[in-house]
Amino acid sequence: MSRAAVPGRLQWGLSLSDWIASRFRYRRFARGGHNLARRYAALTPYWEPHLEASRTVQRGWDVSGKRLLVLGAGRLLDFSIELAERFQEVLLLDADPACGGKWRELGSKLKGRVAVDYDLRELTLKYDPWQMHLAGRLSRTAPSARWQTALSTLSHMIEVPTPHLPHADAVLSLNVLSQLPIGWQEIAEELLTESFGAKFVKQHEQEWLEALLPAGRTVVEDHFTAIASSRCRHALVITDTDYTEYRGAPAYSRASYAPPPKEGEHTTWSALCNVEIEAQLPGWRRRKLSEWTWHIAPMGLEREPYGTFHNVAAYRFDI
């Protein structure tokens, strides 16, 4: 992790150089955080049912202990204070430095029993070496063979050690798992665009997205390896499982929630690169606690000529 977690107190301090380096390396997540806040403000009636469903599952998770580790705490929009109150210490990974007020508020409610880390380095351990490997392969390849080299490299990324998390009695993975392969996809797309141009990359989108699937599966599976590395006995994973884009539906109102339409053209794909959650953490007991639909971007309320909804599920793991 980028900073050692200090039990029993809040970590607000971060040197300017560390802050700049962290924000540069993980600017996609920082930008994503700001975009989430903006879209939540604009689409609150559509987002709040998902956020409350996430909080409800946490409130019903009957665990307690010394330390709770939260992966993907983000801006605390979907985090349950009631769950945190059952632990002596709460370690929040993926805190946004732009939201210090939220962290101080949580620390006050929990009487300082919070430690904060500012990035997803342990969860995105493969990003930097993969990025350097792909960039190096592209720079050393003749132009005539560069595209096939890109596809081959994306399909067979180099081995990188799996992540390791600090010890915890329970781990909460909070709406972050499906974002990890997207993070690598954005890095890969940026490198491909630099080498081949945006038009070419767009025209060949299906090819390079399919080539990314093995790496995406590895990132997803690594997440469960990371959970196990904490030596916890209980885990709760709340994640998108599928994405659906739809077309041919009328525009919606911002004033109140409306479910996604059943009619029109629908395209659905796995949010987890076809990884089956039920097959992860072998030897653990597992149970799906809940599932729901998040109408994240209703058609007509954003610039895209389509709407989007996510299928979300909450899985409990115990050992």
| pLDDT score of 73 | 80
pLDDT means per 10 residues, the chain with 319 residues, are 32 41 48 72 94 98 95 86 92 68 73 67 84 95 96 96 91 95 94 96 97 97 95 97 91 91 93 96 97 94 88 98
CB 123 within 8 A of CB 221: no
- What integer pLDDT is reported at residue 88 of this predicted model? 92
Q: What is the pLDDT of residue 18?
A: 45
What local confidence, expressed as pLDDT, does residue 187 receive? 93
What's the CA gap between 287 and 314, in Å, rounded? 9
Between 3.30.1300, 1.25.10, 3.40.50, 1.10.10, what CATH number should domain 16-318 receive?
Answer: 3.40.50
> Counting Cβ atoms within 10 Å, is residue 313 exposed (0-12), middle (13-18) or buried (19+)?
middle
pLDDT value for 117 = 64
Sketch the domain layout of the chain as residue ranges: 16-318
Residues in CB range of 290: below 8 A, 6 or more apart: 53, 56, 57, 313, 314
**Of the candidates 232, 182, 170, the residue with the CA atom closest to the CA atom of residue 31:** 182
Q: What is the pLDDT of residue 98?
A: 62
Could you tell me the two tokens for 201? 């990359």
Residue 108: predicted pLDDT = 78
Strands 170-174 and 234-247: parallel
pLDDT on residue 4: 33
Instruction: With 0.75 as the threshold, say if the pTM is over it.
Output: yes
* pLDDT on residue 75: 79
pLDDT at position 97 = 56
